[in-house]
């Protein structure tokens, strides 16, 4: 098993074998998570600090749980109440925390590139928990593990990513990951929600759900990310649901065993029918959450192994 990275900032810098290494280890953690022996010691003696400058439910909870299950000392900063609101810059906050010698820093930030910048200023392992519309690597990895477990493989699948692609770091990281693993990707959504120049990524683009979903193995739905929109991108939510919301009728165009995914938070009746989201025969949304913990355990474990290689821990008592 080899994973020669200091940080996990995005999917872009990872090679296919890095992705497989993380998923293989996460697979073991996922199995272990279902047993009584959930806890391990891979992060024992290490300090993990979570800094979320943007709201989060599942990602933050999942990183926190992952750290605790592996024995780290985990601290989640309440960024709303931090000195950022007193005018301190991101870098100053990071330098302050760095002086406390954390080993793992988990960061979510509304600006694309902010996490990469921060990683250059600190001397611990940094994990990107989502930066603007840039990357959300652990989300793409947990999606990949969910797909691999449901379909038995992670290559040569037809995968549709639907909805607000333009504002979505989840879509971006998934397009990169699924492309590296040699899948066929279709993007479906209104032209106003497609990023410019997207066809250069080797994807097929559709603005009609029924056409786009024809025969696909995986349907990944995305939320309309209104907090990143600065104008009217869609006529109305009702109209949007009618054209792009996933319901049983549209799903009937996909392969009969197609799975339905959503990273959450979900807006029922906007991008997805509530009943379909809850239909355990099709929806793997709860598995995605479960795989999230396992993937974050694996990612932090692999980064911690590299930390220990670079700087073996000394005893203050020696
Ligand atoms: C996503 C995010 O924050 O990028 N959610 C998540 O991490 N599970 C998607 C979203 O906000 O719509």
Atom from ligand 1 closest to the CA of residue 139: 7
Q: Measured in whole angstroms, how far is the alpha carbon of residue 19 from the centre of its chain?
A: 13
DSSP 38-104: ----TTTT-EEEEEESS--SHHHHHHHHHHHHTT-EEEEE-GGGSGGGGT--HHHHHHHHHTT--SE
Q: Report the candidate in 93, 122, 158 with the shortest Cα–Cα distance to residue 9.
A: 122
Is residue 263 lining ligand 1, measured as CB closer than 6 Å?
yes
Q: How far is the CA of 209 from the centre of ligand 1 (A)?
A: 22
Mutate to test the pocket of ligand 1, among 60, 135, 170 (most ligand atoms within 8 A of CB): 170
Q: Report the pLDDT value the prediction gives residue 86, as an integer from 0 to 100.
A: 67
Atom from ligand 1 closest to the CA of residue 54: 3
From first to last of its 318 residues, the chain has per-residue pLDDT tens of 789 999 999 999 999 999 999 999 999 999 999 988 889 999 999 999 999 999 888 999 999 999 999 999 999 987 766 666 666 788 888 888 899 999 999 999 999 999 999 999 999 999 999 999 999 999 999 999 999 999 999 999 999 999 999 999 999 999 999 999 999 999 999 999 999 888 788 899 999 999 999 999 999 999 988 877 776 777 788 999 999 999 999 999 999 999 999 999 999 999 999 999 999 999 999 999 999 999 999 999 999 999 998 876 665 665
Q: Give the span between the Cα atoms of 253 and 255, in whole angstroms.
A: 7
The CA-atom distances, in angstroms, between 298 and each of 55, 75, 220, 264 are 24, 19, 23, 21
Q: How far is the CA of 264 from the centre of ligand 1 (A)?
A: 6
Q: Report the candidate in 16, 45, 24, 13 with the shortest Cα–Cα distance to residue 299.
A: 24
Q: How far is the CA of 26 from the centre of ligand 1 (A)?
A: 20
Which are the contacts of 124, defined by CB distance < 8 A and separation ≥ 6? 98, 101, 102, 103, 104, 105, 307
Mutate to test the pocket of ligand 1, among 54, 57, 58, 59 (most ligand atoms within 8 A of CB): 59
Q: Report the candidate in 179, 75, 59 with the shortest Cα–Cα distance to residue 109.
A: 59
Q: Report the pLDDT value the prediction gives residue 165, as an integer from 0 to 100.
A: 96
- Which residue lies with its CA nearest to atom 11 of ligand 1? 265
Q: How far is the CA of 146 from the centre of ligand 1 (A)?
A: 16
Q: Give the span between the Cα atoms of 37 and 292, in whole angstroms.
A: 18
Q: How far is the CA of 85 from the centre of ligand 1 (A)?
A: 23
Mutate to test the pocket of ligand 1, among 106, 134, 161, 265 (most ligand atoms within 8 A of CB): 265
Q: How far is the CA of 167 from the centre of ligand 1 (A)?
A: 11
Is residue 130 lining ligand 1, measured as CB closer than 6 Å?
yes
Q: Report the pLDDT value the prediction gives residue 81, as an integer from 0 to 100.
A: 64
- Which residue lies with its CA nearest to atom 12 of ligand 1? 223
């Amino acid at each position: 098993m080899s994973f020669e990275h200091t940080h996990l900032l995005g999917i872009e810098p990872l090679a296919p074998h890095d992705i497989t290494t993380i998923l293989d280890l996460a697979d073991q953690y996922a199995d272990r998570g279902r047993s009584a022996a959930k806890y391990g010691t891979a992060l024992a003696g290490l300090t993990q600090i979570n800094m979320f400058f943007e709201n989060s439910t599942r990602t933050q909870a999942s990183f926190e749980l992952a750290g605790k299950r592996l024995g780290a000392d985990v601290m989640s900063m309440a960024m709303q109440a931090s000195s950022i609101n007193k005018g301190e810059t991101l870098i100053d906050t990071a330098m302050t925390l760095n002086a406390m010698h954390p080993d793992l820093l988990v960061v979510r930030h509304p600006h694309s590139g902010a996490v990469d910048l921060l990683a250059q200023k600190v001397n611990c392992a940094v994990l990107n928990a989502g930066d603007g519309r840039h990357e959300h690597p652990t989300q793409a990895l947990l999606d990949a593990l969910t797909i691999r477990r449901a379909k038995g493989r992670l290559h040569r699948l037809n995968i549709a990513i639907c909805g607000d692609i333009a504002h979505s770091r989840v879509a971006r990281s998934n397009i990169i990951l699924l492309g590296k693993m040699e899948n066929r990707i279709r993007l479906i959504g209104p032209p106003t929600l497609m990023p410019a120049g997207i066809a250069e990524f080797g994807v097929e683009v559709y603005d009609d759900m029924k056409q786009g979903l024809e025969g696909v193995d995986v349907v990944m739905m995305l939320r309309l990310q209104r907090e990143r929109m600065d104008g009217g991108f869609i006529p109305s939510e009702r109209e949007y649901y009618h054209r792009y919301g996933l319901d049983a009728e549209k799903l009937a165009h996909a392969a009969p065993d197609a799975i339905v995914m959503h990273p959450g938070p979900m807006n029922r009746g906007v991008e997805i029918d509530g009943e379909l989201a809850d239909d355990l025969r099709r929806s793997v949304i709860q598995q995605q959450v479960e795989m999230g913990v396992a993937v974050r355990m694996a990612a932090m474990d692999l980064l911690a192994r590299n930390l220990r290689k670079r700087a073996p821990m000394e005893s203050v008592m020696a």
